[in-house]
Amino acid sequence: MSLYVMKFGGSSVGDTERMKRVAKRIADKQDEGHRCVVVVSAMGDTTDDLIDTAKQLNGQPPAREMDMLMTTGEQISVALLSIALHGIGRNAVSYTGWQAGFRTDETHGRARINEIDPRRVLASLEREQIVIVAGFQGMTVDGEITTLGRGGSDTTAVALAAAIQADVCEIYTDVDGIYSTDPRIVKTARKLKEISYDEMLELANLGAAVLHPRAVEYAKRHQVKLVVRSSFNHNEGTVVKEETSMEQGIVVSGIAFDKNVARVSILGVPDVPGVLAQVFGKLAEEGVNVDIIVQSGVQNEQADFSFTVSLDELDRAKEVIKEIHKTLPYREVTSEDNLVKVSIVGAGMVSHPGVAAQMFDVLSQEGVSIKMVSTSEIKVSCVIESGNLPSIIQALHTTYNLDTTEQAFVGGPKDRR
């Protein structure tokens, strides 16, 4: 008997009818002769509603109390799904994250998994039960409830699959696989049969919302076979694995975009050793993640440099830079927030020169100025003004021969985690 971990996002269990459909899907998997562990997110907009309610009471609610509040959404989902399975004659049991053995660090709102003790899950499987586990949550050694942050349910599923040595971890969502770009923008996006961990990790880090980077990292580290498929149909999904066979003629596998981008520029900084270490060391201390960094030429022993952060960290980044002014003189700080990062990703780029030049040419034809560029062996990212993003993505998609004649499948609203 194969052991499957099946993860269903919020849109898949958004109401009672969808919950029944998910229960039937799990029952069908069991009827095929498989043992099933299921990870579930909160129903539909439950998490957003809880956050809105909290902010009506306190504009800056304490992180610990928010974790106490937000974990209730998943607890509702696992209980209801277990009830639905019992309703169709299946023996199921629901567990919170901590009951399933998830132990995390103490960072409320974005905790990291330290270890998993899956004995309770394995014991339930021995009793031939379907095990339903709440995603997105865990507990510290001191008994504090924590949440894993954005994408936490994906991470829960992959980490649990590694811990119980599952044969497959299936991520069910509103699309029936991983596409060459967002099928909501490009209706003829190409569905990929398979993709490497490295390519998927780049796409996830660059804005593709179908999988969270932490989940992909965990899958790569523990060699978990990952399959992304739709909860709305039975189409074959996309396999994420170590090595993939290159489709002939496909150099770029995917195009991602991230609208959560802001640029900070520090002008007139003394050109002396240690300046960048001082600036970015302080940003790191304050928990501000920096992406692209570009330094311009030196003039009159002063330099200018820019870096990007997520839009929701822009104010904090500017506060940190303001504090640094006490010890590091600079002329001026500026920022921009009407930006988007567009990226192309593909393992085939390593052996094909001119791929980046094609991207720059497309952006030029679209009348877009490139503000920053970042490259690696398998990706090129450009920070540009937001402008007409759908037209830009479509033009890039066509240029890299990714268009198909088939209509992409999108089954419902995008899962939030």
- The CA–CA distances, whole Å, from 140 to 33, 156, 368 equal 36, 15, 48
Q: How many CB atoms within 10 Å of residue 160?
A: 28
- Is 416 annotated in some ligand binding site? no
- Is 16 annotated in some ligand binding site? no
- Is 7 annotated in some ligand binding site? yes
The beta strands (E) that lie in 84-225 are given as 92-95, 102-104, 113-116, 130-134, 137-139, 145-147, 168-173, 194-196
* Residues 95/78, Cβ–Cβ less than 8 Å: yes
If residue 3 lies in a helix (H) or strand (E), which one and from where to where? strand 3-8
- Is 8 annotated in some ligand binding site? yes
- Is 330 annotated in some ligand binding site? no
Alpha-carbon distance of 416 to 152, in angstroms, equals 10
- Is 377 annotated in some ligand binding site? no
- Is 47 annotated in some ligand binding site? yes
* DSSP 8-class letter at 93: E
* DSSP 8-class letter at 112: -
Give all strands of the β-sheet with 254-270 in edge-to-edge order.
293-299, 302-309, 254-270, 332-345, 379-385, 370-376
Three-class SS state of 9: coil
- The CA–CA distances, whole Å, from 378 to 83, 175, 215, 252, 352 equal 46, 25, 20, 9, 11
Q: How many CB atoms within 10 Å of residue 19?
A: 21
Structure tokens at 39: 């990870």
- Is 308 annotated in some ligand binding site? no
- Is 257 annotated in some ligand binding site? no
* Residues 258/213, Cβ–Cβ less than 8 Å: no
If residue 155 lies in a helix (H) or strand (E), which one and from where to where? helix 152-163
* DSSP 8-class letter at 129: P
Structure tokens at 214: 């932490």
Nearest to 203 by CA among 256, 260, 154, 250: 256
Report H helices in 206-274.
213-222
Binding site membership: which residues? 7-10, 47, 74, 173-174, 179, 184
Q: Which residues are annotated as a binding site for substrate?
A: 47, 74
List the binding residues for ATP. 7-10, 173-174, 179, 184
